[in-house]
Amino acid sequence: MPENFNVSGPSHLLTRLDWTNASHRRSIAASLVQGVYSLEHKRQRASINLELDTQASMWYEQFQFQLNANDILEDDEDDSSYFGAIFEFKHTHESTSTPSPPKYVVAFRGVMLTKHTRYEDMKQSLKLGMHKLEESSRFHIALKAVLDVVNRAGGPENVWLVGHSLGAAIAMLVGKNMAIFGYPLETYLFNPPYISVPIEKFIKIKPLKDGFRIANSIMKAGIAKAMNKHRDDSEEDSFVVLSEWVPYMFVNPSDLLCAEYIGYFEHREKMEEIGYGKIERISTRCTFGSLVCSAIWRDLEPLRVVPTTYMTVNVSPSEDFRQAHGIVQWWQPHFQWQSKLYKFKTTMSSSVSCTLVE
């Protein structure tokens, strides 16, 4: 885990930061997540060492953000760890760039496998795997904090939501709720977990992989219709409302925890191309797990179901899983990126797709 900003941070931005540059905005969002990791490291050490205190604050103060003591999000019901923070931009009203810096950024860290946090972090990950993250204390603390910040900032356009790994899952769940409330936030999701079998990694033969995905979609759509879970694409449909929220998603194909998002969105596009778009519009709303859960217990909306996203893939080779899943890659200037917008197609609007290479 990086600690020293001067050694591993995006110091190249300090002399030429451009808020209109998407790569710079991504790098700052990732740095603020690292700021939360560093704050928790500092808490665990119970340090009064000035050098360590300075290292934690450099991840946000270098970009003109400040942190008030009461803006640290603490898991006070469990291990008292810092899992998030609310960073305030010091000079928002002085900025003339478009888009301009946010007034506030709410950031969430991922799992930390230290003796102080690993038990509770893994318990949160288990809740994520069982589709129960919305029942966790961290989610409720995070959602309340974001609602308060939106009111403090004067509107959702002044707030960013960012997270890495487990923190990306929390940010995604909070972001989906805020979008349904009518407050879509600019959201950055780094290595968000995809809770499903990683088909993208385990099936290498493309025709076999495509056939599996098509059969999967047809089966899910059939079951959903049989269970009367199919909903028309009306303006009142929450899934259609959610499709107007466009989170920025950052994935690495060598990361087993998030790589399946690549295949998921490519498959949706493929189904439209081969004339199975109507089937996929039903299938993409659910998983087999959510259908089973709805049949025997209660309605369940899978966290990973995101109608629209602007996805960036790190296409540079990764040495190992640690690098592929790490936060550091997202502020490094020497990696290669491919970015594409995937927009959910409804009967009322056409899909939008574009590809950019950084």
Least trusted range by pLDDT, from 24-33, 37-46, 202-211, 281-290: 281-290
> Among residues of the chain, what percentage have pLDDT more than 70?
82
Instruction: Give whole-number Cα distances, 114 to 1, 54, 120, 267, 327, in Å.
Output: 11, 22, 10, 38, 17
The region of weakest confidence among 118-127, 214-223, 309-318, 348-357 is 348-357
Is 50's pLDDT higher than 50?
no
Distance, CA of 67 to CA of 156 (rounded, Å): 19
The predicted pLDDT at position 156 comes to 95
Give residue-wise pLDDT tens across range 71-114: 999 987 666 889 999 999 998 655 555 778 999 999 999 999 88
Span 220-252, pLDDT tens digits: 778 777 766 555 555 456 778 888 899 999 999
Mean pLDDT of the chain: 84
Phi, psi angles (nearest 5°) of residue 286 = -145, 170
User: Domains of the chain by range and CATH?
Assistant: 5-195+237-261+306-357 (3.40.50)
Identify which of 341, 326, 347 has the alpha carbon closest to the alpha carbon of residue 109. Answer: 326
Percent of the chain clearing pLDDT 90 (strictly above): 47
Q: Does 336 score more than 50 pLDDT?
A: yes
List pLDDT tens digits, range 139-155: 999 999 999 999 999 99
Entry pTM: 0.88
Rounded to whole angstroms, how far apart are CA atoms 22 and 24?
5
Hey, what amino acid is at 234? S
Res 278: pLDDT: 85
The more confident residue out of 135 and 78 is 135
Annotate 256-287 with b (16+ C-beta within 10 A) or e (fewer). Answer: bbbbbbbbbbbbbebbbeeebbebbbbbbbbb
CB 105 within 8 A of CB 19: no
Q: Are 342 and 270 in contact (CB under 8 A)?
A: no
Residue 299 confidence (pLDDT): 54
Span of 3-7, 184-188, 200-204 with lowest mean pLDDT: 200-204
Q: What is the pLDDT of residue 128?
A: 87
Instruction: Tell whether the model's pLDDT for residue 66 goes beyond 80.
Output: yes
Contact predicate 158/104, CB 8 Å: yes
